[in-house]
Amino acid sequence: MIEIKKLAKRFAVDNPKKLSEQERRDPRLKGRFFHSVQDVSFSCDNGQVLGLLGPNGAGKTTTLRILSTALKADSGSIFIDGEDVLQNPIVARKKIGFLSGTTGLYGRLSGRENIAYFGQLHGMSKSQIEQRIDELADLLDMHSFLDRRSETFSSGMKQKTAIARAVMHKPALVILDEPTTGLDIMATQTVLEFIQRLKADGTPVIFSTHHLDEVSELCDRVTVINQGTSCFDGSLDEFKQLSDGNLHHSFMQALAQGESYVASV
Ligand SMILES: Nc1ncnc2c1ncn2[C@@H]1O[C@H](COP(=O)(O)OP(=O)(O)OP(=O)(O)O)[C@@H](O)[C@H]1O
């Protein structure tokens, strides 16, 4: 189980001229700091899939990067199966599989070599690595390109390789930042089925997305972030009940509720 409470992260703004027009008008810009994540809380049980929603720039990637320990939170807490992630980032890293927005593969290495390298970093033996790559190549339909140099890969092939690499060590929690962005329909389906499989195995999955059809297909829980604050956190049914059952309407309702909450404090 993962439990996140009151996460916050701000970035120093060295050159305000580099901010977008929207960011300059964003209430999260306070003096020399942009408070990307101000107050984010949610939880996810084993075997559950949580969809993290929010408009562009809401703070989803920043939140996921904090969970993955790539970024340090300014305040708040994260516990995975009782382990304090912020206090023990190295121990926690072993428990987490993280797919970031950029796949960052080594172009000169084959898909297999890219994945195996991560297995080595996690201390897996050669035979464990071979067996696990075989298993993942079956699940993610990768056999036809696994031994090609990754610089020749399509976006879908790169994404599947990056996902395989992220879950190589059978993490206790999988975090995926927009895993289907830029993928064609077939690659998207493979990735969605893979998430279903993780769920069936009891592994909690947290993923950010702008696709509400993925939320209705996969998610048990939904968290909506708006301007760095979680304005909805509940089950998919509770999310649907925010409106007439249409997920687009529920999303807009969650944002509206968040805005009136912020205005009232
Ligand atoms: N290192 C940084 N320095 C300054 N500002 C940052 C930094 N990282 C993120 N931000 C800002 O924090 C805000 C939240 O960004 P984030 O990438 O977390 O949003 P997001 O919800 O993932 O958006 P999207 O849906 O567009 O991917 C944005 O305004 C972004 O520009």
Q: Which one of 60, 65, 74 would you pick to mutate in the ligand 1 pocket, going by the greatest count of ligand atoms within 8 A of its CB? A: 60
Q: How confident is residue 60, by pLDDT bands cut at 50, 70 and 90?
A: very high
Q: 205-208 and 33-44: which strand pairing? A: unpaired
Please write the tens of the pLDDT for every residue from 237-249.
999 999 998 999 9
pLDDT at 135 over 50: yes
ipTM for this model = 0.96
The answer to whether the CB of 234 is under 6 A from ligand 1 is no
**Across residues 39-54, what is the average pLDDT?**
95
62 alpha carbon – ligand 1 mean position (Å): 6
Going through 85-210 in order, the beta strands assigned E by DSSP cover 96-99, 173-177, 205-208
Helix (H, G, I), strand (E, B) or coil at 68: coil
Return mean pLDDT, the chain. 92
pLDDT value at residue 260: 61
pLDDT at 265 over 50: no
pLDDT value at residue 261: 52
Tell me what percent of the residues of the chain surpass a pLDDT of 70: 97
Lowest mean pLDDT among 52-66, 110-124, 251-265: 251-265
pLDDT value at residue 162: 93
Nearest CA to ligand 1 atom 16: 59
Q: How confident is residue 38, by pLDDT bands cut at 50, 70 and 90?
A: very high
pLDDT value at residue 103: 66
Q: Identify the CATH homologous superfamily for domain 2-109+173-264.
A: P-loop containing nucleotide triphosphate hydrolases (3.40.50.300)
pLDDT at 33 over 90: yes
Question: Tokens 């996902």 label which residue?
Answer: 163
**Across residues 130-145, what is the average pLDDT?**
95
Contacts of residues 167-170 at CB distance under 8 Å and 24 or more positions apart, as own/partner, are: 167/97, 167/136, 167/198, 168/97, 168/115, 168/118, 168/119, 168/122, 168/124, 168/129, 168/132, 168/133, 168/136, 169/94, 169/97, 169/118, 169/119, 169/122, 169/124, 170/132
* Largest CA-CA distance found in the chain, in angstroms, rounded: 59
63 alpha carbon – ligand 1 mean position (Å): 9
User: CB-side exposure of 99: number of CA atoms within 13 Å?
Assistant: 28
pLDDT at 186 over 50: yes
Lowest mean pLDDT among 31-45, 96-110, 192-206: 96-110
pLDDT value at residue 4: 96
Provide the token pair at 68.
């993955």
